[in-house]
Chains A and B, each alone.
Chain A
């Protein structure tokens, strides 16, 4: 049932830019690219948070590390995406390996705090990197280059590349979660003590998951830097990690499409609130659109209190009832 829905969504996603182009509303394609990139970031966090059960509150550090790596490559005269993007993944992945090696030695709330702290460390580090903009950020004069006649400056081309990467990532994750490794980490999430007791070196599994998620987050970061033609320490600030977590929870923790559903839902909601005036609301509170985060906050609170499985989880529960 999920697969049918996903297929329809994919077809819609493929058709979307062409429709927008026909309607002469290409701006929406840029918006959609941004949503897809966050979907990738949220999906990477879902691996750690949803499937792995590790409440990492510092995922923005990996997204940011990837964004900065890709940006630095462009600025230093090596704009090829074939170098910059894998390098972004490598840098984030190694960073995740280092941070995870220390953080995963702690449990519960200490783990949450220490991941948060490490992310803050990286945040302050980027602010101090005066050579690459410091706290004012770094503007990119161009996007990464792909060759093969594909110009990432073209919004449609960029969109399709992002979509292709997202679909590939989701596919690879789907293989991973159903393979031995995926079975193991989900079992670790379920009962880590027993997994140790039946012979699994659980630390190794958690660390690997953490590193993979970090690398994937770094890829999202590289795409984000390209999308904005800009990178700044702001994407590493701790509320950014919070937003990513919100997307995962909203979309459904531990569900394959949870990250996508969450990103589309949250960012879509924000866009809706900011760009479409609701007549009667505007009559009462003329400036209501400046306070869109209030509505997001209320919505999020409601989701946490009343639908803890997130949106995708609601669907999962329903399909289980139908057998």
Chain B
């Protein structure tokens, strides 16, 4: 367990966490402002990845393909919002869960019909090599790019939410929807915009993570759970909470999987450690979530008072 390894895994955790943040940010906004549970959020992540893969192939450029996939996915998201999701805002949570679950099925199949079960998307050749961060410590250039983009988006989001008028409207809506409505905010347009924005963020995450996790139907389901865990930990409706939560989850999950078996081997018999290690590592974030809910049921940074 060298320092290099720890550093490397920390960076991996940061990288994963930042991408989770992109998903969680959109999800927490929709949840916080519209009070809607959207299980189909993971499907937008998948659609983003597929669109990116297609556009990269079509344009021959990784950068262009990924950049174009963002507005494309945003449009898909907004169409979805205007057609189906809008009718769910007024409904109870159970109906929302089921309707968006149905959307997952539909979108999975439509994607399968259009593209097939998976598509290739690899990192650009220029970034496929390692970068020497420290002497003796190479790190994937591509992963560094992800970290860079993730941090840039986080800063951009902070700026938009905290410093612009639209951001203020969004924050107002998250903390008190009725009040925002009473103040004359065009709620319908705001919702559609927020939704499209969230979809765009999903596309960034989907496209960037694709070379690492593969582009395939059903990729949304697994990451969706993690996104929900993040926003529950961070506090529903809070961007800051989503950031803290996702870094926390990303780190705990990555470091846990990397080091838990090794740690356990120090204290338990080898057979027991090799059985319990992976098990404990995968449930670590759920234990974290349960713990946070126990001590602070509203999450770490609740948007509503």
Residues of chain A at the chain B interface (Cβ within 8 Å): 49, 55, 57, 102, 105-106, 108-110, 112-114, 116-118, 120-121, 124-125, 127-131, 238-239, 242, 245-246, 249, 253, 291, 293-294, 296-298, 300-301, 304-305, 308
Contact = CB atoms under 8 A, between A and B. Distances in A.
B109 interface: yes
Given A55-B94, A110-B232, A118-B286, A296 B105 contact: yes
Given A109-B31, A127-B282, A305-B87, A120 B225 contact: yes
Contact of B294 (A57, A102, A242, A304): A102
23 contacts: A55-B93, A55-B97, A105-B294, A109-B31, A109-B93, A113-B289, A116-B225, A117-B225, A120-B225, A127-B278, A128-B275, A129-B275, A239-B101, A239-B221, A245-B101, A253-B94, A293-B105, A297-B103, A297-B109, A298-B102, A300-B101, A301-B99, A301-B103
Contacts of B294: 102, 105
Contacts of B104: 297
A130 B275 contact: yes
B225 A238 contact: yes
A283 B260 CA distance: 55
Contacts of A128: 275-276, 278-279, 282
Contacts of A113: 228-229, 232, 289
Interface string B150-175: 00000000000000000000000000
Interface string B169-213: 000000000000000000000000000000000000000000000
Contacts of B31: 109
B297 A106 contact: yes
Contacts, number: 120
B102 A109 contact: no
Contacts of A127: 278-279, 282
A300 B102 CA distance: 6
Contacts of A293: 105, 108-109
B106 A124 contact: no
A203 B294 CA distance: 16
**Interface class of chain B by DSSP:** helix
Nearest to A130: B275
Nearest to A301: B102
B95 A308 contact: yes
Given A113-B229, A239-B221, A245-B94, 19 more contacts: A102-B294, A113-B232, A114-B289, A116-B228, A117-B225, A120-B283, A124-B282, A125-B279, A125-B283, A127-B282, A245-B101, A291-B112, A297-B103, A297-B104, A297-B105, A297-B106, A297-B109, A300-B98, A304-B99
B265 to A, nearest CB: 15
A246 B276 CA distance: 34
B267 interface: no
Nearest to A118: B286
B243 interface: no
Contacts of A298: 102, 106
B1 interface: no
Interface residues of B, number: 42
B98 A245 contact: yes
Interface string B263-284: 0000000000001101100110
Nearest to B275: A130
Given A114-B289, A305-B99, A300 B279 contact: no
Interface string B57-74: 000000000000000000
Contact of B221 (A57, A114, A238, A297): A238
Interface in B1-51: 31, 37, 39
B110 A294 contact: yes
B293 interface: yes
A300 B109 CA distance: 14
Nearest to A242: B101
Contacts of A105: 294, 297
Across the A-B interface, give the 3 residue pairs with the lowest CB-CB distance, nearest first: A297-B105, A128-B279, A294-B109
B297 A110 contact: yes
A124 B87 CA distance: 35
A304 B229 contact: no
Contacts of A117: 225, 229, 232, 286, 289-290
Contacts of A109: 31, 37, 93, 236
B279 A297 contact: no
Contact of A124 (B84, B102, B236, B283): B283
B253 to A, nearest CB: 11
Contact of B97 (A57, A106, A124, A130): A57
B18 to A, nearest CB: 22
B125 interface: no
A252 to B, nearest CB: 13
B113 interface: yes
A120 B286 contact: yes
Nearest to B276: A128
Interface in B93-145: 93-95, 97-99, 101-106, 108-110, 112-113
Interface in B223-281: 225, 228-229, 232, 236, 275-276, 278-279
A304 B39 CA distance: 15
Among B93, B102, B104, B290, chain A packs the most CB atoms within 10 A around the CB of B102
A39 B232 CA distance: 32
